[in-house]
Each structure stands twice: as C-alpha cells, then as structure tokens.
A and B are shown apart, each in its own frame.
Chain A
Amino acid sequence: MSTAAVATRVGRELNSICGAEHVTEAPAERILGCAPGVAVRPGSAQEIAAILRFANQNNLVVAPAGGLTQQEAGNAPSQIDILLYTSRLTETEHYDPADLTVGIGAGCTVAHLCHDISKDGLLFAPDPPLWERATIGGLLATGITGPRRHGYGALRDYCIGVRFVTGDSRIGKGGGRVVKNVAGYDMMKLLIGSWGTLAVITGASFKLFPYPRNSRTFVACFPNLSDAMAYRDRVLRSPLDPMCLELLSQQASALLTPGSPAAAFWSICVRGAGSDAVLARFRSELGSAVAHEMEDEKETAFWRKVADFPALARERDPDSLLMTIMAPLRDVRRVLDVTDEVAAASGFTVAAAGRVGHGNLFVSLSPTVGRQLTKTNYTKVMATLNEQLPRDASLTVLHCPPEARPDIPMLRTPTHAGSMRAVKHALDPKDILNRGRFSL
C-alpha cells in the first residue's frame, strides 16, 4: 500500500470519528522534517480514544500537539501518521475563584487562561516560553515552565488533577479538583514531563495564587560566575522569599536585552513582591550588588523575555544545541563550568539562563562566530558533557540541528530506565504515541 493510500484510509476513518471539517490530509506542518499523514482536531476524550483505538489496530504513530512550541525536542520521528491537535479542548471544567482552583481543557493556551483569571486577581503560576501559543496540555507534557518556578514551585507542586487518554485508548484521570488529595496513583506526576509518550492529556486542574500586588525586580551584576553563585547562595540563605531568582549569563543578557550594560556581566535577577516595607527589606538584604531595579511594564516585559529565553535562543541560531538541565543546587556552578569548558573546546559559545535557586537551567550552545562545525562537534560536545556532568544532573535536548540529531542522546536521567519502560509499556504497549522521540 502506498503512503498516500494509507493516509486516505486513515483520513476516512478520522472523518467518521471527528467530522471531515476537523481533519486535514497531508497537512503543511513538519515535525522535525517529518510530514504527518493527517492532522486531526478531535473535540472530546471519546474521539481521542476512538482515534487511538484505530491507531493501535493499525499500528499508526500518533503525535499529540498543542501550540507546536516544543516540537523540536528529542529525536526526529521517522513516522507520524496522525498529528493530533488538542486545540478544540478548551472548555473550562471548573473555575472556583474562592477555592483558588481551575480545571481547563488541554487545548487552552496559557496566555488565555492567565488573562481569564486575572479579572479575579488570580495568577496561574506557570510561565512557559511562548505563552500565547503554548497550551495547557503541552505545558504539562513538556514540563517546561519559566522563572516563576522559583517562588511558586514546579508544575508537579500545583497540578492537582489530570484527564487523559492512554496510548492504548483508555480514558482516565488522576487527582481531582481539590488542593489536597492522595486518593489513587498520582497520574499527574507521571504525565508531567512525559512528552506525550504515555497519554494524550485532555485537561487538568490547578491551584491558583493571588496575583501579587506591587512587585519589583532587582538586578545584580557580577564579573564572573563564581561571584554570581556566591550571591545566589547569599540570597538563598537570607530570609527573602522571592518570586523569581534567575541567573543570566552575559550571552543570555545579550540575547534578551541587546545593548544593555548587563550584557557584559553575569546577572542575578531577583523579583520580590509585597508591600513597600517588604520591598524595602529586599533592597536592604540584596545590598549594593544591585545595579538597577525594574517595575511595572518594563519589569513584566523583562520577565516575559526571560521566560522566552529557550525559544529566543533557538530562533536566533538554528544551529544551536539547546537543552534544559536540572541539577542539585551545589552542582549548578559545576554544570555551568563544565558546559563552558566543554563547549569552548569544541567551538561553541554558551548562553545560559535559569532558576538557580532550584537548579533548573536552560543552556544554549551556538557555534562560535566564524567557526564551521560538523556533526562530530555536536556529538563530541554532548558525549563529553554527559561524561562530566555531576551524577544527579539530568537533561533533555530541546533543539539540535537535524544532521547532528541521530547521534545525540536526547535524555539523561538518574531514574531507572527499566521502570520507565515498564510505565510506557503499561500505558502505551504498542508504542503508538510519539514513537522514537525519546529512547528510554
């Protein structure tokens, strides 16, 4: 059977499940160069289950999709038969401002949700890159958030419920809509950061937070990483409880705020919120290292850019190798030092930003200006990095030039691979979802 014939048959089946108006044969989108056979926009979990049932029966590969903001992560898929968009799943399942909770469909964008709840003075804590496109489903599947992670916790800390369809087409849920709940297995934890390899997320519930009135950002600049990290430690040992505590390398500052004086330094950016008395205390604790302060629109725009750093780095240099690294607090310095040394030796320049109070970094390695790099440079830099990173450091590659991709390990984790494979097998035994994107 030719590919075109399969697509047609798949298309017909999807038409019957979702209605022809929600099915596009041979869509224009490319996922890492791979042309999906059909794009479909199902309107319910039941339709998704029917699609996945059909995919299981016919050994078709399904790639779940939200706003396509992180589809460059991992290995290039060799085959995508069905590109499954969650864009029609935007219903508010529950919204309880008095309880500070919301339940929302996976296809809703983060910006839309944030805007909707801001009228009640509430904050949705996750601030992923490209929030206007990033969807709730994609946010959870990638586990990638932004600088507010420092003060509000990780997704795993405030996602209180999840609805999904497993790879083998079972409609399930975990958690619920209350802020404290230990009934049943914690499906939220399994699906956050699972990159669409276990289930298609259809909706989720979250804790919300009061929107901080009155915030201020303090930027402290340092000539080297060592001084910046010493300052981080000072902030962490202080009684301050900042919303954001971000490290920006010179290269990162140059990317985010071109031409600013900060681009010559390593910066530690601290965002505090509270009354004038609280902010005055921030000022006194942070001391004379603070070079300047930001507030109001300028501050909001700055943090939006910081959140977008991974996307901006990727956009600026398609030849960059972009990864997110998580490391124990003490190892952050070593991770950055090692990355810098290894990169320099292979002809790369590093731009780094991240939540250094939690060891959550984004690192972009771009070919140093004037250097022509080959596939081998990428392979070598990743291999050396993997050798030299501290034991508990883990990483996911978010972007990489196509020619280098096949030889680069996309995931590094301290977690037992056999157990992860057991989970994958339990939920998606035929490896229908995002086949080959990550090797466990």
Chain B
Amino acid sequence: MDLSLVISDLRKIAGNDAVLNRPEDLMLYEYDAGLRKSTPGAVVFPRDAQQVSQIMRVASAAKVPVVARGAGTGLSGGAICKVGGIVIAFSRMNRILEVDVENMCAVVQPGVVNLQLSEHVSHLGLYYAPDPSSQKACTIGGNVAENSGGPHTLLHGVTVNHVTGVEVVMPDGEIVQFGGKAAESHGYDMTGFFVGTEGTVGITTTVTVKLLRKPESVKTLLGIFESVDDAAQTVSAITAAGITPAALEMMDSWMLRAIEEYCHAGYPMDAGAALLIEVEGLREMVEEQAVAVSEVCLQKKAREVRVAKDEEERALLWKGRKTAFGAVGRVAPSYYTQDGVVPRSKIPGVLAHIGDVAKKHNLIIGNIFHAGDGNLHPLIMFDDRDKVQFAHVLEASEDILQYCIDVGGSITGEHGVGSEKRDMMTHLFTDEDLDVMSSLRNAFNSDGILNPEKLLPAPRMCREIKGPSRNPILAQEGM
C-alpha cells in the first residue's frame, strides 16, 4: 500500500484543506480518552455521505484500515486507528438536518455534539435522553458506535433504545438505510444491530433519534451515608420498593472529597458515600416517589437526605457528578476508568472487592458510578511515568472486571470493548459465541479494514485455551 497515493485520492475527494498528514497534526488524533496511542497515516474530514463513500472505496481498494472518529472522548480505544490508517473525522458533518416534532424525532449528522441536540430542541420542550458524562463534547456518531449510556439511562435506556434509523456507508462504499422514523421497523432490526458495533460493520452518516418530552416534574435528592455498604444496600432497597428513579448515582468518600474540593457542589467532605437520586415524571408521582426514596435511604441508615429546592440547587448537584473526571485530574496525573457491570444486588460485594484490589496493588481507586443499573466506574489513579505502578493498574482492572464476570456481570456497560477489553471478551463469551459475531462482522467487513483489532478478540484467542492473556497495553509498553 502506498499511503501517499491514498492521501492524494483523499484530497481529490474531500479537498486539500480536508486532509491532514503532517506528524504534528496527526498527534492530535493518536489518542482518545483511554490509554492507548497510535498514530494514523492521515485524517480526512468529509462533508457528506457521498464523500465518505468515496473515501471507503479508496481505502477498500488500497486495503488501508479506517476508523471513524467523533470527538475522541471514548474510554476504550475505539477511535484509535491502526498505525498508518485513515481516520475519518466527522467534525464537518455536524448539522442537525431535521427536527420532526410531530414524529418526536430528529435526523442528525454523526458529528453533532450530544448536548447540542438537546439544547437545540429545548425550546420545544423536548430533549435527547442518552446523556454520557462527556455530553458537552461527545458526538452522536460516536454514541451510536459505542452504544453510549449516561446517568439517565437507568430509566430511559442507552443509545440503542433511542436510535430508530441510520444511514450507513459500507466498506465497499455502498450507502444503505436501516430503519427510519418509526419507533421500530419490520424486517431484521439492522439499526439495533448496528448500534454498538464500534465502527466494525460500517460508518454511519445520518442518524434518526427519538426525542422525548421533558418531564413535568423532577426531584433530585442527595442521600448521605456513613459507609459505602449502607449506600450500596440502599440501591437494591430502592428497586425493591418498586421505584425506578431516572438516575441513581453513587460516589464514595474519596470521590466526594475530590469533587467538593474541585467544584463546591455542596457534597459532604466527611461522608462514607452519597447517592445522587433523581425521580421524574408526573408531578403527583414524583412527590410520592421522592418521599418513598427518602424513607428508604433513612431506613438504610442515611445520616441525611437533601432535596434540591430549585433548579439551581439541582444543577449544582449534577455539576458535581458531571465534572467528577475533571476533579480527579487535579488529584492524580493520570487515571484509568473501568466500566464493569454487576447485578444490582451484587454492588456491596463488588465495592468490597474493589477495596481489596486497591489495597493489594497499593493504588487509590475512587468509585463514581451508575449504581441503579450496576454499572461501575472505578477510577484508578496512577502516575504514567511509573511503569511498575502502571502494570499494577492494568492488573487491578482485569481483576475487577473478572469479578464482575464471576458474579454474572459484564466488562462494559456503556464505554464499549474497543481495543482495551477485547481480549477479555473470551472470559465473557465462548469461542463459538465469538465465532458467530465474527461471521457477522465478516459479512460486512470481509477485508477487515473497518476498525481492525477492536471489539472482537484476535483470531488466535478464539482457538486458544482461555485464561489471563498478555495485556495488549503492557505489550505496547514493552512489558
């Protein structure tokens, strides 16, 4: 493959100013919010599906790997390209094409920023429900690829529950449509299948998403506990009481202090843990649920339950939660976020285990996560100059994810598998499970040029004996 010829073709397709290949420009595209780095050969900024199609034809003919990239906020290495490959960056395809109020949907290009969509339709009393913590930056296209979640997915579901149609460019350049504006479509649910394929099946160029009506009433509560265990017990108790909050987030003492020092959200500095709980819907129901949630918290030994009095207080409570990752940045040079999931009732056990893992590896691990659906986000602090410590971080991560698997959970709830967890897929799925998935990938991406080495484990892994694999990140670091 002669990349310079490919680059010259890319310039013809998208224009001279739409292709980057100088090393200093490419550096910006060699990482995402995960741990790995890899320098692409070129970055191209198409303006429409036709250009994406032409780019795919060129890449297919030259057998050059391609990865689509939104804002690069992903935490699993999904948007990192193989060395020398092409990054298709969607920052120029960032238009909201249509807001269709009657059909309660919007048609958008993949580069539209998640929060912008909600802001754009806010005056109509509508919003787009999936709200990843990075929603100020992350794009709808990236959300589709990773099937992203967020705090409010507890009630409303993740991205796939809100996407009804996609236009997709296939590796051979064909532009195809799956689904449309209807909530569901007959025929195979290709839309549902496509969401979460992490760029390994095709590249989406238009997304039709559901818009929801803003709830009449919202109440946000902060339950403050002396111990992590009490807070964890409360999570199951709320569910058992028949209440499904819109969001149910948990922060441990370490996180509460880090956040409070950073953004003064009014979080207690001396508590063992706190639950940020939101109920929404019909006014009467919200009033009742807020009382019920308070009662459950107090029964489970909460020392205090605060209810946000107004929108300002509510925004402040959420600001703390949503800027948590920024807060951590002040405390440790680097951190690694995991995304394991456990059945809700196993939260006390997994938190105890995370505590043990932290002790064993002499690491600080903060916990801030979507407790309501058992989706953990242990944040492991480290100094990336300390290679020995870094090795401990990766071991600790694997240990935590293995625990999640062992209690019936999963290795990712909303960040995707990407490159960082692909080898752990063999702990979750059998060879035959993965073989079925591979055959689906190969049905669309037979040459493997679309986001290679992501999501599915390396072929050898499918046939080898299962067990702890050599960590790909350590391998990259020469360890």
Contacts and interface: CB of A to CB of B under 8 A. Distances in A.
Interface string A160-195: 000000100011111011111111111111101110
B436 A154 contact: no
A49 B119 CA distance: 51
B384 to A, nearest CB: 26
B190 A416 contact: yes
B217 to A, nearest CB: 8
A330 B442 contact: no
Given A173-B429, A189-B193, A210 B242 contact: yes
A200 to B, nearest CB: 13
A210 B176 CA distance: 40
A121 interface: yes
Interface stretch (B3-11, B155-163, B360-368): B155-163
B374 interface: yes
B117 interface: no
B343 A190 contact: no
B186 A176 contact: no
A366 interface: no
B187 A328 contact: no
A423 B100 CA distance: 31
Among B104, B183, B188, B421, residue most surrounded by chain A Cβ atoms (within 10 Å) = B188
A186 to B, nearest CB: 6
B444 A419 contact: yes
B213 A392 contact: no
Among A183, A187, A210, A358, residue most surrounded by chain B Cβ atoms (within 10 Å) = A183
A92 interface: no
Interface in B164-192: 165, 170, 174, 176-192
Interface in B98-130: 100, 102-105
Given A183-B428, A239-B283, A328 B103 contact: yes
B149 interface: yes
Contact of A275 (B213, B284, B373): B284
A128 to B, nearest CB: 15
A157 interface: yes
A239 B215 contact: yes
B189 A411 contact: no
B338 interface: no
A99 B187 contact: no
Interface in A378-399: 391-396
B388 interface: no
B188 A423 contact: yes
Nearest to A164: B436
A371 interface: no
B219 interface: no
Contacts of B442: 426
Contacts of A315: none
Contacts of A418: 174, 176
B182 A181 contact: no
Interface string A108-149: 000000000000010000000000000000000001000000
Among A281, A391, A416, residue most surrounded by chain B Cβ atoms (within 10 Å) = A416
Contacts of B425: 183-184
A359 interface: yes
Contacts of B444: 419, 422
Contacts of B196: 182, 185-186
B414 A189 contact: no
Contact of B373 (A143, A180, A392): A180
A287 interface: no
B345 interface: yes
Contacts of B370: 180
A413 B343 contact: no
Given A96-B345, A166-B436, A240-B282, A413 B186 contact: yes
Contacts of A416: 176-178, 190
A326 B184 contact: yes
A423 B191 CA distance: 13
Contacts of A420: 187-188, 190
B471 to A, nearest CB: 18
Contacts of A280: 284
A236 B153 CA distance: 21
Contacts, number: 274
A154 B183 CA distance: 9
Given A98-B345, A182-B158, A426-B439, A170 B185 contact: no
Contacts of A179: 344, 373-374
B160 to A, nearest CB: 7
A275 B289 CA distance: 11
B416 interface: yes
A316 interface: no
Nearest to B188: A420
Interface in A222-277: 236-237, 239-241, 274-275, 277
A181 B216 CA distance: 30
B439 A392 contact: no
Given A156-B184, A392-B181, A172 B105 contact: no
Given A121-B242, A423-B190, A182 B185 contact: no
Contact of B192 (A100, A156, A177, A394): A156
Contact of A184 (B165, B174, B183, B455): B455
A172 B436 contact: yes
Contacts of B100: 328, 330
Interface of A: 94, 96, 98-101, 121, 143, 153-154, 156-157, 166, 170-174, 176-190, 192-194, 198, 209-210, 213, 236-237, 239-241, 274-275, 277-278, 280-281, 324, 326-331, 358-360, 391-396, 411-416, 418-420, 422-423, 425-427, 440
Given A94-B408, A185-B437, A394-B185, 12 more contacts: A98-B240, A174-B433, A176-B410, A180-B341, A181-B413, A241-B281, A277-B284, A278-B284, A326-B185, A328-B181, A415-B188, A419-B444
14 contacts: A99-B239, A173-B430, A176-B410, A180-B413, A184-B455, A188-B192, A239-B215, A239-B217, A275-B288, A280-B284, A326-B186, A359-B183, A394-B186, A420-B190
